[in-house]
Amino acid sequence: MRFSMSESAILPAPTILPAAEDSLCDGRITFHRLLPDLLKSLEGRFVAIHGGEVVATGGSFVETAQSAYGKVGYVPIFVAQVTATQPPLFGSGHRVFRPEKLLDPIQL
């Protein structure tokens, strides 16, 4: 199909899927929201979060991730150990992710 410069074609809008980063950020937010309840029954264990809920638990990071992938497929999941004090997560460069700041956007 060819168009001249004076003609225009209207194409349908593309489907934009959420980025993996968004899914992981949502998982972090869910983890910290659920942390008080998780500490009561799962302290020291690992949890996998996908779709706003805990989908797997286990004694190690790998065990928990494998269990979660078996249930929800190979999609982005957030896996963390349930502890009262969470270490900061480091990314590239000099930025440090501090989970406690996630819950209060004013502090960002």
- Provide the residue type at 28 as one letter: R
Q: What is the pLDDT of residue 76?
A: 87
Question: Cα–Cα distance between 64 and 62 in angstroms, integer?
Answer: 5
Q: What is the pLDDT of residue 97?
A: 53
Question: Cα–Cα distance between 77 and 70 in angstroms, integer?
Answer: 12
Cβ atoms of 23 and 35 closer than 8 Å: no
Residue 25 has pLDDT above 70, yes or no: yes
Bigger pLDDT: 44 vs 3: 44
Instruction: Kindly give, in sequence order, each residue whose CB lies less than 8 Å from that of residue 20, ignoring residues fewer than 6 positions away.
Output: 76
Instruction: Kindly give, in sequence order, each residue whose CB lies less than 8 Å from that of residue 106, ignoring residues fewer than 6 positions away.
Output: none
Lowest-pLDDT range, 5-19, 29-43, 48-62, 92-106? 92-106
Q: How many residues appear in the chain? A: 108
| pLDDT tens digits, 46-101 | 999 998 999 999 999 999 999 999 999 988 899 999 998 876 554 444 455 555 55
Q: What is the pLDDT of residue 17?
A: 64
Residue showing tokens 């004076």: 6
For 102, the token pair is 């996630």
Q: What is the pLDDT of residue 53?
A: 93
